[in-house]
Structure 1
Amino acid sequence: MLVTVKELLAEAEKKQRAVGAFNVPNLEALRGVIQAAEMLEVPVIIQHAEVHENLIALEEIGPLMIHYAKQAKVPVAVHLDHGSSLTACIKAIRLGFTSIMYDASLKEYETNVKETAELAQIAHSVNVSVEAELGEMTNSSVGSGEGRESTQDELENSDLFTNPDQAKSFVEATQVDSLAVSFGTVHGKYFAEPNLDFERIAAIRTAVNGCPLVMHGGSGVSEEDYGKAITAGIRKINYYTYMNLTAGESVKRLVNTTQQNELFFDEVSLHATAAVKENVSQALRIFNRL
Structure 2
Amino acid sequence: MELVERELTVPWEGVLVEPAGGSRTGVVVLLGSSGRVDRERARVLAGQGVMALSIRWYGGPGQPPGICEVPLETFTAAVDLLKERGAERIAILGTSKGAEAAMLTAVRDPRVDVVVALAPTSVVWGNVGPGLDGRERPYRSSWSWRGEPVPFVPVDDTWLEGDHGPEPVAILGWYEQSERTFAARLEAAAIPVEQARADLVLVAGGDDEMWPALRYAQELAGRRRAVGAPVELISSADAGHRIRLPGESPAAPMTTYAYGGTPEADARLGRAAWEPILDRLRRD
The two structures have a TM-score, normalised by structure 2, of: 0.35
Which structure is richer in relative contact order (CA contacts within 8 A, separation 6 or more)?
Answer: 1
Q: Which has the higher helix share?
A: 1
The two structures have a TM-score, normalised by structure 1, of: 0.35
